Amino acid sequence: MRTVLSGHRYVSAALADLLITDMDADSDQPLHSRLSEREFQILCKLAAGRAVSQIGEDLGISVKTVSTYRSRILEKMSLKTNADLTAYALRSGLISQ
């Protein structure tokens, strides 16, 4: 109660252990392993320089849906731009130059 009353968040020892274990497990995995199959598909197309409209047409989904996937990908991978996605994909061998 003191922790909460002082304006901090309380995390039980059990929850803290779970969070640390989860973080350790993720650290060995590449960032793109957090993505769904569809998100990964869109990541590769964006990184290869495809326009959102082209991706939508290729996959039979709307431009808005592609944009939503793009936003989720950037958030999950802690990236900001398509250039960041492309640089990551090149470093990870997901696309070639």
Domain boundaries, the chain: 2-91
Name residues whose C-beta falls within 8 Å of residue 15's C-beta, 6 or more positions apart in sequence. none
What residue spans of the chain are helical by DSSP H? 2-5, 13-27, 37-47, 52-59, 63-77, 82-91
Residue type, 68: T
Q: Token digits for 93?
A: 């061998």
| Burial group, residue 53, by CB count within 10 angstroms (0-12, 13-18, 19+) | exposed
Tokens representing 21?
């274990």
The structure's pTM equals 0.70
What are the pLDDT tens digits along the chain (97 aa)? 777 788 888 877 777 666 666 555 455 688 888 899 999 999 999 999 999 999 999 999 999 999 999 999 999 998 999 999 999 999 988 988 7
Fold category of 2-91 in CATH? Rossmann fold (3.40.50)
